[in-house]
Amino acid sequence: MPNGSDPWESRGQRPIQDFGIFKATEVDRAGPHGKTGRFVVLDAPDWGVVVPILEKSGNRYILAVRQFRHGSGRASLEFPGGVVEPGEDPERAAARELREETGYAARRITLLGDLSPNPAILTNRFRVYLAEDLTLEGEQSLDEHEIVDVQEIPESLFLERLGGPGWDHALMSAAAFLYIRHRGWETLRNTPDAQARGGGKG
């Protein structure tokens, strides 16, 4: 009896259209149930984001960026990140995006997770890094149509906003979960900033 973990056999593929940010491809695959189907997949470059931690006067801040997104038609609060260029090391790509979007560089970068953004249709990977020991190296270095506002958000306040208006980007929530797992939920709830706003209750 076939099950959902059984692999499908590839029987060929045909390009549909190259849209620049991704390529649409139709693939033929035979399933373990004895049937063959045609499916559309999107070949996109890998993506990387970095969760930057800025420490000032004993407090921890998330360095976030706000920018307008054309899919949703509104501004989105996110972690710095973007496309991994062909042949580029993903960690270097994340560090580059941090520098370009915020002006900051990190002395220490740690991989938090390696995810599949949408395995139903996307072929790429989404890597999440933690950036610590930040130093401001200069101005932003943005692309022609990038307009990015940098915000310093207290760590616990960032957690309160997560999933709410303006912070509803699903991939950013996934990145935030990986950060929370790394840092420890109880640790985050019991920071001085969280305690001041009642975050340690309950």
Token pair belonging to 49: 């984001």
Establish whether 139 is a catalytic residue.
no
131 vs 155, residue with greater confidence: 131
Q: What is the pLDDT of residues 45-101, one digit of tens each?
A: 999 999 999 998 888 999 999 999 988 898 889 999 999 999 999 999 999 999 999
Per-residue pLDDT at 201? 45
Note whether residue 201 is domain-resident.
no
Q: How many residues does the chain have?
A: 202
Total domains present in the chain: 2
Least confident of 86-90, 122-126, 163-167: 163-167
Note whether residue 202 is domain-resident.
no
Q: Which domain holds residue 165?
A: 47-196
With a cut of 90, say whether residue 171 has pLDDT above it: yes
Same structural domain for residues 123 and 167?
yes
The span from the CA of 78 to the CA of 168, in Å, is: 9
Same structural domain for residues 15 and 82?
no
Token pair belonging to 34: 């004895």
Per-residue pLDDT at 163? 80
Report the CATH number that the domain containing residue 103 is assigned in CATH.
3.90.79.10
Per-residue pLDDT at 196? 56
Note whether residue 180 is domain-resident.
yes
18 contact partners, CB below 8 Å, separation of at least 6: 24
Please, are residues 117 and 24 in contact by the beta-carbon 8 Å criterion?
Answer: no
Q: Choose, from 78, 137, 144, 186, the residue flagged as catalytic.
A: 144
Q: pLDDT category, 188, cuts 50, 70, 90?
A: low
Note whether residue 184 is domain-resident.
yes
